[in-house]
Every structure is written in C-alpha cells, then in structure tokens.
Amino acid sequence: MVRLAMAALLLAACGSDSKPSGDSPGTATVQKVTCPATPNAEVTVAASGAAYMPSATSITQGQVVRFTLPSAHDVTSTTAGLDVRFGQTSCLMFTSPGTYQFHCSVHGFQGTVTVQ
C-alpha cells in the first residue's frame, strides 16, 4: 500500500515541458477529424528525405493540419492525439493555443505547430 502511494506521488510530481501552453486536464487539444474535401482549407505538413515540410507552421485555434506521410516516416508526440502512422494521411484539428512539438520516431527530425 505504501509503495503504491509512493509511486502515485512520484508520477504526479513528474511533469513534461512539452505540453502545449493552455493545456488543461480534460481539454482536448488535438482531435483527429475527417480531412476536408478541399486541401486548400487547411495547412499541409509532409515528410520527405529527413525533414517535415514545413518544419514549423502557425495556425489559428480550431484550424486543421493535414499530415501526409510516406511509408518511411511517422509523427509522434507526447501530446495526446498528435500522432500519425507510417504512410498515412491524417487531419488533426488543434483546439487549444500553444506550441505543439512532434518528431519522426525513426529518424528523429522534428516539427512544430504553433496555435494562436
């Protein structure tokens, strides 16, 4: 019982600096949505070679980012919902202001989405 309480206390004390600003418990900050029929309606982030293009983008709250990835790259993050598997196209809506960091789990290159 004491070990369980200690483990819970240690986990609660651990924090992550990679959370977006404005993130609060119970608030969805990144949601997977159906991609709009018109690609120009959102920002597109692709991966090619050893980089995301663009590697950094700024959007407004509620805007959608379309991630288009080849089979060699993915998007992973400590932010819940900010993940796209290898070779997939996914549209993610960012609902809270902040800076969201992500990276390719295989190659390590990084990207950010800043939500105003």
Query: Is residue 7 in some structural domain?
Result: no
pTM here is 0.74
Please state, as a whole number, how many other Cβ atoms lie within 10 Å of the Cβ of residue 80. 12
What is the number of domains present in the chain?
A: 1
Query: Is residue 8 in some structural domain?
Result: no
pLDDT by residue (tens digit) across 29-56?
Answer: 899 999 987 777 789 999 988 999 999 9
Kind and range of the H or E run holding 7? helix 2-13
Distances (CA, A) of 45 to 71, 111, 112: 15, 9, 10
Query: Could you identify the residue written with the tokens 């990276």?
Result: 103
φ, ψ dihedrals at 88, nearest 5°: -105, 160
Residue 106 belongs to what domain range?
Answer: 27-115
Query: Is residue 69 in some structural domain?
Result: yes
Question: In terms of pLDDT, which residue wins out, 8 or 44?
Answer: 44
Query: Is residue 77 in some structural domain?
Result: yes
Q: What is the CATH number of the domain that holds 37?
A: 2.60.40.420
